[in-house]
Amino acid sequence: MGGEIVPFSQMKSLCCGGPLMMTRSDIAFEMARKILDTAKSAGADCIALACPLCGMMLDGKQADIEKALHVEIDMPVVYITQLLGLALGIDAKELGLNKNAVDTKDILGKVV
């Protein structure tokens, strides 16, 4: 696809906290924040994922995490299928990138 994987320790394979969202949102938010912060600190342009719970936590709840933990993250999160579609030349809107909670426009120009 042409993307470059940015190593960001073992965080890339840890749980995002999604299963805890209904019972312990405080712990779930902290788990997700650690993943987002680690990826951003490593220089990643976005996080690519396959899990719907990770999508909910890392993208859909990112604004709530920022508000609750008094941080600014602004890390785009996309599904691997969206990146694959971009690499194949499919329009970003058709892939639903305009529906992601965190704006993806900054990464669109980096996909060739």
pLDDT confidence band for 32 (50 / 70 / 90): very high
Q: What angle do CA 107, 64, 108 make, to 5 degrees?
A: 10
In whole angstroms, give the CA distance from residue 7 to residue 33: 17
pTM for the model: 0.89
User: What is the pLDDT at residue 14?
Assistant: 85
In whole angstroms, give the CA distance from residue 43 to residue 18: 24
What is the rounded average pLDDT of the residues 63-77?
96
Residue ranges of domains in the chain, CATH in brackets: 16-108 (3.40.50.11810)
Q: What Å distances lie between residue 74 and 34, 45, 58, 91, CA to CA?
A: 13, 10, 10, 23
Other C-beta atoms lying within 10 Å of the C-beta of residue 63: 13
